[in-house]
Structure 1
Amino acid sequence: MKKHINVVAAVINNDQNEILCALRSSVMALPNLWEFPGGKIEEGESHEIALVREIQEELGVHIKVGDKVEDTYYEYDTFTIQLTSYLARITAGDLKATEHAELKWVTINHLDELNWAPADIPAVEELKKLFEVKKVL
């Protein structure tokens, strides 16, 4: 039986309507693929608490967690993942990549140019839909 992992991810946006994208390092599982930063939910943690903790550990910033973007189940070769992504804003701190090879602010229109980890793709698609709705309003 494959290992199952419950993960949360932060879709962090800034005042220029750019999204923070993180490139997985060559030593991580799924190397050199882009993702929304986040990590595993520890036992007893809520999604929000896990996300705040993971972003503090990985990026050195505090965030405010907003609405859910997407909830995705994905089966990789050696494990399965339940990835729940949330909108978020940085409230304090300076971004630093402690685990990722690169951090990049990307506009919604350019998200498709990145080579995403498969489990993150549904969130990318949902963001494009959300952005289209906002442009129309």
Structure 2
Amino acid sequence: MTKIVHVVGAIIHNEEGNILCAQRSASMTLPGYWEFPGGKIEPGEIPQTALLREIKEELHCDIAVGQFVEETVYRYDSFTVRLETYFAEIIKGTPIAYEHSELKWVPFKELFSLQWAPADIPAVERVIQQCKKGFTSN
């Protein structure tokens, strides 16, 4: 039986339609891949509470958690990830990469210019669809 890791990710956006992307550091699994910041859901936590805690720990920011985006189950070689993602906005602080090697604000249309961790790809696709609906004025 493969170990299942339940994690949550924040799709932090700004008013211009840019999304905060985080590059995994050399000390993390899948180093160099990009992901949405977040982390493990602790026993007894709901995803939204875990997201508030993780973003405070990882980026030293306070966020408002918004709409649910995507749930993905992805099997890596040695474990399986269950990733739940939510839109979020920073309400206090400026994100600083304490655990990641780099943070980057990326226009939603250019998200696929980054090399994403496989578990994050369905959420990236959903974000692009959602942002096209919300940010285009046709």
Give the TM-score taking structure 2 as reference length.
0.96
Give the distance between the partners of 1:112 and 1:3, measured in 2 at CA: 29
Deviations 1:57-99 (A, max 9, x none): 0000000000011000000000001100000000001211110
- Please say which of residues 126-135 and 12-21 is displaced more in the overlay: 126-135
Give the TM-score taking structure 1 as reference length.
0.97
CA displacement at 1:132 relative to structure 2: 2.2
Once the two structures are superposed, the pairs formed by residues 1-16 of structure 1 within 5 Å of their partners are: 1-16=1-16
What amino acid is the match of 2:85?
A: S
Give the distance between the partners of 2:131 and 2:49, measured in 1 at CA: 26
Deviating 4+ runs (over 6 angstroms): none
Q: Call closer, same or farther: CA 1:132–1:15 in 2, change over 3 Å.
A: closer
Give the distance between the partners of 2:58 and 2:4, measured in 1 at CA: 22
- Check if 1:18 corresponds to 2:24: no
Give the distance between the partners of 1:93 and 1:131, measured in 2 at CA: 24
Q: 2:111 corresponds to which residue?
A: 111
Q: 2:93 corresponds to which residue?
A: 93
Task: List gaps (5 residues or longer) in structure 1.
Answer: none
The secondary structure found in structure 2 opposite 1:68 is strand
Question: Identity, % of aligned pairs?
Answer: 52
Task: List gaps (5 residues or longer) in structure 2.
Answer: none
What amino acid is the match of 1:124?
A: V
